[in-house]
Amino acid sequence: MEAITFGVLTISDTCYQAPAKDKSGPKLVRLIGETFQNAEVIASIVPDEQELIQRELRKWIAREDLRVILTTGGTGFAPRDVTPEATKPLLEKECPQLALVIALGSLQKTKFAALSRGVCGIAGNTLILNFPGSEKAVTECFEAVSELLPHAVHLIGDEVALVRKIHAEVQGTPTQSASTVIARTAHVCPHKTGAGSDSDRNSPFPMLPVQEVLSIIFDTVKRTSDLEKLLWQQTSPVNIPPFRASIKDGYAMKSTGFSGTKRVVGYIAAGSAPNPSPLAEDECFKINTGAPLPLEADCVVQVEDTKLLQRDKHGQESLVDILVEPQAGLDVRAIGHDLSTQDRIFPFPDASPVVVKSLLASVGKRSSVRRPKVAIVSTGSELLAPHDQPVAGKIYDSNTTMLEELLLYFGFDCIQTTVLSDSFDETKLALVNLFETVDFVICSGGVSMGDKDFVKPVLEHLQFKLHCGRVNMKPGKPMTFASREQKYFFGLPGNPVSAFVTFHLFALPAIRWAAGWDRSKCTLPVLQVKLLNELPLDGRPEYVRASVVSKNGELQARIVGDQISSRLQSIVGADVLLHLPGRTSERTSARAGEVFSASVLRYDFISKYE
């Protein structure tokens, strides 16, 4: 038999919890190895959960080299036995006669074989056979079908030459029997993240450079609005000011009159309607800053340039001395001086939410720009909410708060926060629900290599495209970016500082891009700063938290303590992420005095002036 891969899938709640209890899976691996030359075997264990069984089967069916899957367990009558139910929907063709051969083989040994409901069939170019769960049963079932397997595989693959060869063997032509030689390798890979071969214990995701990941993100994320175009197109529906407004607290009058004594004929406060009364040259109105000039006045003399001469019996000013000559237009803001009807509201693009919202407010508009909807998800069965009592083995959840605050800091809303335990089903359900309303999910945790790191499998299950599963950076290596149509998922690593760094470097630019920002503005601003400490370089390019001191105008960076990615304290006083290159044989450390690029994390980024 030519080199093919067998998949042995143990389906059992018990074995999933305690893989050492699995006897039938390893037995099948041995039997395959003893029977078929050149056979590779991969093995896995899943609980009696229909979806998890199907997910594993689908993954294996999709592999070109994997031609036979033998499942063991979950074929009986117990309520949790669902292997046939999980297998059947995946089959394109059922093979009831194979199931019959298996049943007959086992029935010769025991009547109890009648209590197995296993099915057999073909999915793609893969043959799937359900065997019962005991070591004895799998041995009997395997013996019943093993000599049929090579031929079945060749027929499924339409491999004509090999089919002829087997036919010749069956008819007695002397060729080497396909079923009597020893397997080349028998590799067992019980974890969930690898692709199934020998290298399976490594992540199947290539480690991409930071810049490549950013390009992928910009190429993938669609803009929810073209903010710049939208802003550029907007013209003002109103004049600012909409009336001739006083620039000072003082007296409004006619500039054709002279300085000297004038009668105060009224008071005009901000908010009053423009006063249409006739105004003589020796009269004036007392007026406040921002109030509309009386229709017949054309200038304002500030209160400092006047002297009060008299009050009437009610205590109101009645006579003032104007000490300077009135000048036409003095301290008057003309209609539309700041912004005229039909002027562009935004003379050039500026996506800052402060700018956008306040300028629109100034012309009586609300922002109609659609902003991306973002939800924050934290995964981890160990997580306690801030108000919870401490519990052994648990830790307080900091990522939810941190990521929500970061969104708010950068002017985006967080629609929802959700905390999930490390469960495939819970994660799947949460993502399905969230993506009904949000555009982005920023998740933390569960993206690395642990058997409870379910985020990537759930994304695959939900048919998201995984654009990136690892980045060549420290911290943040397992950063994951996935999309399905116009829904985007960031799987930030669970270590709090890794989540912090990857939010700034990847999630924020993506959200800004979606919100319509200019591409060059989506990433954090980068400055050149001088490093004060000597630092060993890591194998991966590193983003080191540093505080910035301005010394005689020169920006200098001080590292903020231990840089381990679990130590959230390293964000205290962190003004920048200093970009350190990966170590090479020529360069093993960053020396004090060297200048490096640094991404600015916060507006108040200079901690100290010296």
Ligand X SMILES: Nc1nc2c(c(=O)[nH]1)N[C@H]1C(S)=C(S)[C@@H](COP(=O)(O)OP(=O)(O)OC[C@H]3O[C@@H](n4cnc5c(N)ncnc54)[C@H](O)[C@@H]3O)O[C@H]1N2
Q: Which residues bind Mg ion (CB under 5 A)?
A: 448, 450, 453
Q: Cβ closer to Mg ion: 448 or 565?
A: 448
- The answer to whether 243 and 276 have CB atoms below 8 angstroms apart is no
Among Mg ion, ligand MOO, ligand X, none, what binds residue 382 when CB lies within 5 to 8 Å by partner kind?
A: ligand X
Residue 93 phi, psi (nearest 5): -135, 135
Contact 604, 541 (CB under 8 A): no
Binding of residue 56 to ligand X (CB under 6 A)? no
C-alpha Rg value of the chain to the nearest Å: 37
Q: Quickly tell me which residue has 């093919």 as its tokens.
A: 4
Distances from the Cα of 487 to the Cαs of 54, 65, 425, 494, 510, in angstroms? Answer: 24, 32, 20, 21, 12
Partner whose footprint covers residue 383, from ligand X, Mg ion, ligand MOO, none (CB < 5 to 8 Å by kind) = ligand X
Using CB atoms, what's the residue nearest to ligand X?
494
Separation CA 23–CA 27 (nearest Å) = 6
Give the up-direction half-sphere exposure of residue 454: CA atoms within 13 A in the CB hemisphere.
23
The closest of 288, 296, 300, 291 to 273, measured between CA atoms, is: 291
**Is 447 among the residues that bind ligand X (CB under 6 A)?**
yes
Measured CA to CA, the distance from residue 374 to residue 503 in angstroms comes to: 13
Say which entry of Mg ion, ligand MOO, ligand X, none residue 399 contacts (CB below 5 to 8 A, set by partner kind). ligand X
Min dist CB 540 to ligand MOO, Å, is 8
Q: Find the shortest distance in angstroms from Cβ 374 to ligand X.
A: 17
Q: Cα–Cα distances in Å, from 122 out to 59, 130, 249?
A: 15, 12, 89
Which one of ligand X, Mg ion, ligand MOO, none is in contact with 395 (Cβ closer than 5 to 8 A by kind)?
A: ligand X
Near ligand X by CB under 6 A, which window of 26-34, 212-220, 432-440, 443-451?
443-451
| Residue 4 dihedral angles phi and psi, to the nearest 5° | -130, 165
Q: Does 84 bind ligand X (CB under 6 A)?
A: no
With 0-12 CB in 10 A as exposed, 13-18 as middle and 19+ as buried, what is 483? buried
- Could you give the CA distance from residue 510 to residue 8 in angstroms, rounded to a whole number? 41
Token reading at 300: 């304002």
What is d(CA 232, CA 347) in angstroms, rounded to the nearest whole number? 7
Of residues 449 and 592, the one with the C-beta less far from ligand X: 449
Closest CA to 19 of 55, 70, 77, 73: 73
Output the six-digit token pair for 403: 């990521």
398 binds ligand X (CB under 6 A): yes
Within 13 A of 102's CA, how many CA atoms are on the CB side? 29
The CB-of-489 to ligand X minimum distance in angstroms stands at: 13
Residue 448 beta carbon to Mg ion: minimum distance, rounded to whole angstroms: 4
448 binds ligand X (CB under 6 A): yes
CB of 469 to ligand X, least distance (A): 11
| Structure tokens, 518 | 């200019």
Nearest-approach distance from CB 435 to ligand X, in angstroms: 20
- Residues in contact with ligand X, shown as a per-residue x/- string from 529 to 568 under the rule CB under 6 A: ------------------------------------xx--
Binding of ligand X at residue 509 (CB under 6 A)?
A: no
Euclidean distance between CA atoms 421 and 439, whole angstroms: 22
Q: Could you tell me the two tokens for 530?
A: 């001088």
Q: With binding defined as CB under 6 A, does residue 444 bind ligand X?
A: yes
| Positions in 483-502 near ligand X (CB under 6 A) | 493-496, 498
Which residues are at the interface with ligand MOO (CB under 6 A)?
Answer: 474-477, 493, 495, 498, 565
Q: Is 382 near ligand X (CB under 6 A)? A: yes
> Is 478 near ligand X (CB under 6 A)?
yes
Pick the piece of the chain touching ligand X (CB under 6 A) from 35-43, 136-144, 380-388, 433-441. Answer: 380-388
- According to the binding rule CB under 6 A, does residue 446 interact with ligand X? yes
Whole-number minimum distance, CB 566 to ligand X, in Å?
6
What are the residues binding ligand X (CB under 6 A)?
378-380, 382-383, 395, 397-400, 444-450, 453, 475, 477-478, 493-496, 498, 565-566
